[in-house]
Amino acid sequence: MTWLITGGAGYIGAHVVRAMTDAGERAVVYDDLSSGIAKRVPQGVPLVTGSTLDADLVARALAEHEVTGVVHLAAKKQVGESVEQPLRYYHENMEGLRVLLSAVTEAGVRSFVFSSSAAVYGMPDVDLVTEETPCLPMSPYGETKLAGEWLVRATGRAHGLSTASLRYFNVAGAASPELADTGVYNLVPMVFEKLTDGAAPRIFGADYATPDGTCVRDYIHVADLAEAHVVTARKLAATAPGTDLTLNIGRGEGVSVREMADLINDVTGYDTAAEVTARRPGDPARVVASADRAARELGWSAKRDVRDMVTSAWAGWVRLHPEAARTR
């Protein structure tokens, strides 16, 4: 099969492309390079530069490369920005998805993997979040992911498209330093940035009903996440038309913010105590996935632990910020 991977020059997308090609699948990257980096695309993998809003370009890419499956990762994804710019997020995420699905059905593509998010759940008050946990997203970003799942599922039913929506939990790490996340939007790079600047990392609230008072999250190594895409894509390709899967992609283990900050100090050689500040509005105390369905449906489970995530992410950070390196 040939897989069109939208957003394939991004942090997660580049890992998916590498995992797909390493597994012997043919890949084509489609990316507008607004946040993606062309150098992440492996040699020999075609790169189509453009937006999913460009219906003609999408249709040409599908036809010219004889695409038989799509992995759709391209989207705007910053929660805070989505609150400030809801019209932009709905336009780019939802209309871009609609345009892509329309082209996919016209081209006769039969498999579609959608990048969703744990943001669809909002603030679940449960020990483990299952795929049946009610979805109550708290941002326009989360809303577009949930509505995107609905649109993907409905299109699959109407057109015999086999679909899967993968709900990512907190993604970290890197398969190799050059593929590391260059953004500073998530906990791990945010702590790295503070340490590099000689400042104390911040913990937003230490009075939650958790073992150490700080928020607990489920972290998944980006290489494990990429491998989940490979097995999902292959499962869809081998199943009957109209198959639909909704799966959490996490480790099923919680790590607190304080534990993560301490681990980062240990891995990096720093010894900078975190500063506790006020809670951020909307932060749930605990969000940890049940990954049982993914194990059952895909035979997949995460292999890498949190230390692997931090160590590999740090190698990527130091590659871009050599001044951050410390000798013990």
Count of residues for the chain?
328
Cα–Cα dist 326/318, whole Å: 10
The pLDDT of residue 282: 81
Domain 173-218+252-287+303-324 has CATH 3.40.50.300: no
Cα-flanking dihedrals φ and ψ of residue 327, to 5°? -100, 135
The pLDDT of residue 327: 56
Mean pLDDT for 140-162 is 97
The pLDDT tens digits of the residues spanning 243-257 come to: 999 999 999 999 999
Question: How would residue 260 be classed by pLDDT, with cut points 50, 70 and 90?
Answer: very high
Residues assigned a catalytic role: 141
Position 139 pLDDT exceeds 60: yes
The pLDDT tens digits of the residues spanning 37-94 come to: 999 999 999 999 999 999 999 999 999 999 999 999 999 999 989 999 999 999 999 9
- Residue 30 to residues 59, 67, 206, Cα–Cα distance (Å): 12, 12, 42
The pLDDT tens digits of the residues spanning 270-321 come to: 999 999 999 988 888 999 999 999 999 999 999 999 999 999 999 999 999 9
The pLDDT tens digits of the residues spanning 86-127 come to: 999 999 999 999 999 999 999 999 999 999 999 999 999 899
The CATH superfamily holding the domain 2-171+220-249 is NAD(P)-binding Rossmann-like Domain (3.40.50.720)
Position 328 pLDDT exceeds 80: no
The pLDDT tens digits of the residues spanning 155-199 come to: 999 999 999 999 999 999 999 999 999 999 999 999 999 999 999
What ranges do the domains of the chain cover? 2-171+220-249, 173-218+252-287+303-324
Angle (CA) 108-109-111 rounded to 5° is: 145
Burial of 24 (0-12, 13-18, 19+ CB in 10 A): exposed
